[in-house]
Amino acid sequence: MKNLLGSSVKELENVALTYGQAAFRGRQIYNWIYNYRNKNRNIDQIKVLPLEFRNKLKEDGFKVSELILQEKNLANDGTLKLLLSTADNESIECVGIPTEKRLTACLSSQVGCPMDCKFCATGKEGLKRSLKTSEILDQILSIESEMNRKVTNIVFMGMGEPLLNIDELLWSIRSINEDFQISQRKITVSTVAVPKMMRKLSEKSFQILGNCQFTLAISLHASNQKIRETIIPSAKNYEIKNIIEDSKQFVRDTGRRVSFEYLMLSDVNDKSEHANELSNLLKGFQCHVNLIQYNQIDEVEFKQVSIKNLQLFQSILSNNGIAVSLRRSRGLDKNAACGQLRQNALNK
């Protein structure tokens, strides 16, 4: 299968030239693919192309989209979660999170996930495979089509561990930046943290993208190694102190501050002593902490922290000189937690 999605304008011009067409035909394909107003992503619908050219592309196996909408859930707050099926009958999720001025797409990088974080539904099924660049980008088209809006921001916080699919991740970011016209500064890559991969991420970013301006978000979720190992099994292979040192090196290599995601779990990591311990861990470091309200799921035993406790935790970090913000969960009424929709479909 030859998917045109993710191709640059130059690459599509070369496709056109290969078929004896003028280069501008490639530019017509390019403008059609990346226009969010085009609902039907079938090559037949590129009416500006000669019929013979369209037929030849189809005969030779070219496609624009290969993901099929399997299920969608719209929450009361406008958050839209999509379950999409792949060509090999696997399922992945993506989420559109709207506000008045932006539409954030939460994208998956793998089918399933090998990290088995205890608070996440995705890891329950393990890892099936990594996604191709076209499959990652197709999620953006699916969200734009269903919500009839252009995506403005990207977060790789869906299914999978992005740093275990690093090449496809970075080629996706190239296309998101250059083809979808979304600034790297509006892209966030979230990772549980994999040994040696932060350095590889910065090195490959400069090789593939020419720079590294996206935000790296580390899913820390604990203030010490013992707690982290209880909720993230893979943490035993990567000491929290080493994560912080590698994060500092990433800042030195890229000039971009690192964000730390901290999922607040009642009676696990939400005490005042945890806030002070986290402050000591991060002090003197160019970083930012996102406190996250836990999105309750039936499959695990963790509970939400009250807003009062969230705000107390936030104030302790702030008083200790740590840049911190509070991010409340979206789509609470429609299974918006990572992996829930797929898990429900598998259980049917």
Catalytic residue among 13, 66, 93, 144: 93
Question: pLDDT at position 41, please?
Answer: 85
Among 337, 272, 267, 332, CA closest to 305? 267
* pLDDT given at position 119: 85
The CATH number of whichever domain residue 50 belongs to comes to 1.10.150.530
Residues 94, 120, 212, 338: which is the catalytic one? 338
Q: Where are the alpha helices (DSSP H) in the chain?
A: 9-18, 23-33, 51-59, 133-147, 166-178, 197-208, 225-231, 240-254, 272-282, 307-319, 340-347
Per-residue burial over 175-202, b if 16 or more Cβ lie within 10 Å, else e, is bbbebbebebebbbbbbbbbeebbeebb
Could you give the angle at which helices 307-319 and 272-282 cross, rounded to 10 degrees? 40
| Counted domains in the chain | 2
The residue among 43, 63, 83 that closes a domain is: 63
Same domain, 14 and 125: no
93 tagged catalytic: yes
Output the pLDDT for position 346: 53
> What is the distance between the alpha carbons of residues 335 and 296, in angstroms, rounded to a whole number?
9
Residues 23 and 136 in one domain: no
**pLDDT attached to residue 342:** 52
Give the C-alpha separation, 234 to 219, whole Å. Answer: 12
User: Is 212 annotated in the active site?
Assistant: no
State whether 19 and 126 are in the same domain: no
Position 83 scores a pLDDT of 97
Indicate whether 11 and 77 sit together in one domain: no
Residue 27 sits in the same domain as residue 76: no
> Domain ends where: 19, 43, 63?
63
Residues 49 and 124 reside in one and the same domain? no
pLDDT at 337: 52
Q: What is the mean pLDDT of the chain?
A: 92
Asked if residue 51 and residue 150 are part of one domain, the reply reads no
Q: 22, 47, 63: which is the final residue of a domain?
A: 63
Residue 232 belongs to domain with CATH number: 3.20.20.70
Dihedral sign from CA coordinates of 137, 140, 141, 143: positive
Query: How much is the pLDDT for 345?
Result: 52
Q: Cα torsion at 218, 166, 146, 80 (round to 10°)? A: -20
* Confidence (pLDDT) at 124: 75
For residue range 46-76, what is the model confidence (pLDDT) as tens digits?
A: 999 999 999 999 999 999 999 999 999 999 9
Domain that holds residue 329: 70-347
Query: Distance from CA of residue 170 to its chain's centroid?
Result: 12
Residue numbers of the chain with a pLDDT score lower than 70: 1, 297-300, 329-348
**Crossing angle between the packed helical segments 23-33 and 9-18, to the nearest 10 degrees:** 130
4, amino acid identity: L
- Report pLDDT for 121: 79
Same domain, yes or no: 330 and 184: yes
Please return the burial class of 252, using the count of CB atoms within 10 Å of its CB with bins 0-12, 13-18 and 19+. exposed
Q: Are 209 and 118 contained in the same domain?
A: yes
Shared domain for 192 and 318, answered yes or no, is yes
Q: What is the pLDDT of residue 247?
A: 97
pLDDT at 333: 56
- Give yes or no: residues 176 and 42 share one domain: no
Are residues 107 and 14 located together in one domain of the fold? Answer: no
Task: Give the integer Cα–Cα distance in Å for 76 and 89.
Answer: 30
For 297-342, what is each residue's pLDDT tens digit?
Answer: 666 678 899 989 999 999 999 999 999 999 876 665 555 555 555 5
